[in-house]
Amino acid sequence: MTDTDTLRSTWLARVADAADAPALEEVRLAALGKKGEISGLMKELGRMTPEERQIRGASLNRLRDEIDAALRARRTAMDDAALDERLKSEWLDVTLPGRPRPHGTIHPVSQVMEEVTAIFADMGFAVAEGPQVESDWFNFDALNIPPEHPARQEHDTFFMARATGDNRPPHVLRTHTSPVQIRAMQAQGAPIRVIAPGRVYRMDMDQTHTPMFHQVEGLAIGKDISMANLKWTLEEFCRAFFEVPSVELRFRASHFPFTEPSAEVDIRCDWSGGQLKIGEGESWLEILGSGMVHPKVLAAAGVDSAEWQGFAFGMGIDRIAMLKYGIPDLRAFFDGDLRWLRHYGFAAGDVPSVSGGLSR
């Protein structure tokens, strides 16, 4: 056996024995690195005679190539094995069905508030807000309901408790969204066009009444805004909201301390067959109160009634939600029953963005 044969079997054995990539790299350096054994032997070629160098050089070159090939083959084998290992442990069945995740729904009241806001936004109404715990001045006095006025009793008001000895007039849970009229006009003056959706409270409970419910107030003040504008606005709203080509509204003379003249508005509908249809039939359903803003209300809000006038309305949001989506019992709105919410709730994608839907 020549010494080249010995070298070959030694180094090929070390290559085969290397357990992992770092060990294999050590073997490579020890054989073929700058200070490796084979490289050292090749340096000695310079000191040989041309004849010796020819024979020795050729066999050393072959030896180097063989060790190099063995190193590469071993390296590839190691990489393949590592990949196999990963493929085995990281295997993923992309054909498995997804795990269902429970998701919530949008409450019909939230849905309808968004719809209402989108439709009025198209008509140039901004959204205004006010507190739910309101002073009795904003809730009553400023709206031309003085302390002895019978409307205060009719409203079944919740009064906030005062500490004993605190004799200031009580705050109330607002009984309607109308105080937001005053707040919006005080903040912005005239002209103004706002709606104010929100919670209101009255001591009342049966199939069509809950102690908390929702209204949306509307207010439009300008130089020459009239009942005709009120009528058009409400008809246009109902047509867009109920998604019917035409609606018929009935304006019934009524009375509110804060509007003069005042009208309650009914919508034509059909109950036959137990299914409610809006815009046809022989029945009428009351959906809102409205009128021309009383000069005393303008004055309380700091708006000059010699120069400005306009309309206001207050609509029951829960009521129109029941009508549009055929929900029979108002009390269920606020029970938080998951089965009810899943049935009547909306997917997030159903909420309208502010956009068209009105013909002009």
Shortest Å distance, C-beta 311 to ligand PHE: 8
Q: Of 116, 255, 126, 247, nearest to 195 (Cα)?
A: 126
- Integer CA distances (angstroms), 159 to 130, 201, 360, in order: 17, 10, 45
**Min CB(301)–ligand PHE separation in Å:** 13
Smallest gap from Cβ 256 to ligand PHE, in A, equals: 4
Q: Quick one: 132 exposed, middle or buried, by C-beta within 10 A (0-12, 13-18, 19+)?
A: middle
Stretch that binds ligand PHE, among 36-44, 126-134, 162-170, 286-294 (CB under 6 A): 286-294
**How many CB atoms are closer than 10 A to CB 49?**
8
Taking the C-alpha atoms of residue 113 and residue 8, their distance in angstroms, rounded to an integer, is: 86
Q: Which is nearer to ligand PHE, 71 or 143 (CB)?
A: 143
Instruction: Give the count of residues interacting with ligand PHE (CB under 6 A).
Output: 10
Quick note: the x/- pattern for ligand PHE over 119-158, rule CB under 6 A, is ----------------------------------------
CA 358 from centre of chain? 24
Q: Which two tokens stand for residue 18?
A: 């290397």
Minimal distance in Å, beta carbon 227 to ligand PHE?
12
- Strands (E) in the chain, as ranges, are 126-127, 133-135, 171-173, 192-201, 212-222, 249-256, 259-270, 277-278, 283-293, 309-316
Q: Based on CB atoms, which residue is closest to ligand PHE, 66 or 260?
A: 260
What is the number of residues in the chain?
360
Considering only 108, 197, 291, 310, the residue that binds ligand PHE (CB under 6 A) is 291
CB of 215 to ligand PHE, least distance (A): 6
| Spatial contact of 296 and 265, defined as CB atoms under 8 Å apart | no
**Residue 256 found at the interface with ligand PHE (CB under 6 A):** yes
Neighbours of 30 (CB within 10 A): 15
Helix crossing, 3-17 with 50-89: angle to 10°? 10
The residue among 206, 236, 161, 230 whose CA lies nearest residue 331 is: 206
Q: Which of 289, 319, 330, 341 binds ligand PHE (CB under 6 A)?
A: 289
Side chain identity, residue 173: L
Give yes or no for residue 213 binding ligand PHE (CB under 6 A): no
Binding map of ligand PHE across residues 295-314, x = CB under 6 A, - = no contact: -----------------xxx
Do 171 and 179 meet the contact criterion of CB atoms below 8 Å apart? no
Q: 105 or 178, CB closer to ligand PHE? A: 178
Name the minimum Å distance from CB 323 to ligand PHE. 17
Q: Which residues pair with 310 in a beta bridge?
A: 221
For position 259 contacting ligand PHE by CB under 6 A, the verdict is: yes
Min dist. Cβ of residue 288 to ligand PHE (A): 7
* Closer residue to ligand PHE (CB): 15 or 292: 292
108 interacts with ligand PHE by CB under 6 A: no
Distance between CA atoms of 77 and 83, rounded to whole angstroms? 10
Neighbouring residues of 95: CB distance < 8 A, sequence distance ≥ 6: none
Q: How far is the CB of 313 from ligand PHE (least distance, A)?
A: 5
Nearer Cβ to ligand PHE (222/279): 222
Footprint (CB under 6 A) of ligand PHE, residues 167-206: 176, 178
- Name the residues that contact ligand PHE, by CB under 6 A: 176, 178, 256, 259, 289-291, 312-314
